Structure 1
């Protein structure tokens, strides 16, 4: 059984972040897991809550949180993804979990999905105290060609990115676009599959809008470039039909990591958040973490 969530706040470089702590329903000192959302995600989305609850039910303290400018965390302008800022937020969440009474500071693991799946690799590469890492459909750079996006749609997205970056340079409000949309819509992820998944992302705080300026920095972001520095076990969960974090990029990350396990599922990127698929994936992740945290 699990208790919580217990709301808490902590600082990341002076920015107040909102978190939720899920604890196992037993006393004593336990390992911990910091749970990191994907691009534009918030901690109250069903897949994040399910992961944290599952980890707590298996005896680990699980900390979820909202990145700066998202959900219930502070930070302005809103809905702006900052790679550097989100990495700092994860480090702050790790430090917060390690400080909590009843948490074994040297048995803290990282779990992340999509962009968060790339982030946890980056953070762990510089923190050998991390006991284990779970990277679910991890981001490791954009594919050379995004399937289903026409040249016209690609040009429209680039114009939106350039315009929003210019607005940021002049400290103007962001020029938001949808995070998830239908084919042909101006959105970061545009496909029928992505649109159908919105119902699995819905929550009190999740908003289907984002400042597209972030995509410029994501073009240069390669978590796999530091994967060789990981000293702890890494589990990579791959969606075989993934169009968002495609096999070539994921394979580069996997090949670089010294202590890696891979689990592959016959589904798409967004199917990983469906309750039926999620249950199977979480079972594999619990098995991995049980082994890794027992020997940490």
Structure 2
């Protein structure tokens, strides 16, 4: 499918690296419009299913900026396929600043859209930037530790130890020594060595990603995930938040969603 007429290839900088993005602008633009910033989940890229969302938003009169994180997709950065949460949060901030600098965009009406891991990023980013207009978080990662406990019950302690010490720690130590990264598949079938190894992730990714998608990730992300707790930032968010929850999500405990909803109060809307 050809890209829509108003999709532009753009770049913006973060720490001397160029990040690749697609900018969608509504047709017959006459005044600055609200903009939705879209970053994908975990190690996915903007060409993995974001465009249908972006086109619908564009048709509704919004601008959209969908970007690739550093080290991934068409963005710059080495080592390739590194997923590091603080860096991805910085990339969101850089995308927001870039959008606010464009004459076509109303800088007071910036919305954030995230899914999975980036569903947590948008909560954290909105907590740090009280000028964000609203947030949409789809099946968000809200508490890595709680998700890790669900994973432990599903796969067992020996699999967890194997992934942590045989792969994640190995990659981290190699990075300390200045050696090439140790990479594992981003998505795999149940029981395989992968960042996400379950049938749901495998089936979903197989449908979303393009043929040339690089199914790899630096393994060190595995020892960072359980420490990521966007739930702690919920009380600092000052804008409306739409939480879109998949009832059969095997990684998101509903108790965490309820905790975030309670902390957000009237700002929260939860859709199942």
TM exceeding 0.5: yes
Deviations 1:256-296 (A, max 9, x none): 213100001xxxxxxxxxxxxxxxxxxxxxxxxxxxxxxxx
Equivalent position to 2:227, from 220, 227, 240: 220
Equivalent position to 2:136, from 110, 113, 134: 134
- 1:44 equivalenced with 2:50 (yes/no): no
Match of 2:207 in 1: 200
8 Å contact from structure 1 (residues 148, 183) kept in 2: no
Structure 1 residues 205, 122: closer, same or farther in 2, change over 3 A?
Answer: farther
Structure 1 residues 136, 56: closer, same or farther in 2, change over 3 A?
Answer: same
Measured after TM superposition, the shift of residue 54 of structure 1 is 1.2
Q: After TM superposition, where is structure 1 displaced by more than 4 Å over at least 4 residues in a row?
A: none
8 Å contact from structure 2 (residues 174, 181) kept in 1: yes
Aligned pairs for 1:42-121 (under 5 A) are 42-46=45-49, 48-121=50-123
Q: State TM-score, norm by structure 1.
A: 0.85
8 Å contact from structure 1 (residues 109, 131) kept in 2: yes
Task: Determine helix, strand or coil for the equivalent of 2:218.
Answer: coil
Q: How many residues align?
A: 262
Task: Determine helix, strand or coil for the equivalent of 1:68.
Answer: coil
CA distance in 1, matches of 2:179, 2:259: 38
For the aligned residue pairs, the C-alpha RMSD in angstroms reads 1.5
Please, which runs of 5 or more residues in structure 1 have no aligned partner? 265-296
Task: Determine helix, strand or coil for the equivalent of 2:201.
Answer: helix
Task: Determine helix, strand or coil for the equivalent of 2:36.
Answer: strand
Equivalent position to 1:251, from 251, 258, 264: 258
8 Å contact from structure 1 (residues 44, 205) kept in 2: no
Deviations 1:194-240 (A, max 9, x none): 22122223226532110120122222111110111111100000000
- 1:168 equivalenced with 2:175 (yes/no): yes
Match of 1:145 in 2: 150
CA distance in 2, matches of 1:119, 1:56: 23
CA distance in 1, matches of 2:29, 2:150: 51
Measured after TM superposition, the shift of residue 245 of structure 1 is 2.4
8 Å contact from structure 1 (residues 42, 205) kept in 2: no
Deviations 1:89-115 (A, max 9, x none): 000001111111221110110000000
8 Å contact from structure 2 (residues 36, 62) kept in 1: yes
CA distance in 2, matches of 1:3, 1:149: 46
Q: State TM-score, norm by structure 2.
A: 0.92
8 Å contact from structure 1 (residues 153, 186) kept in 2: no
Please, which runs of 5 or more residues in structure 2 have no aligned partner? none
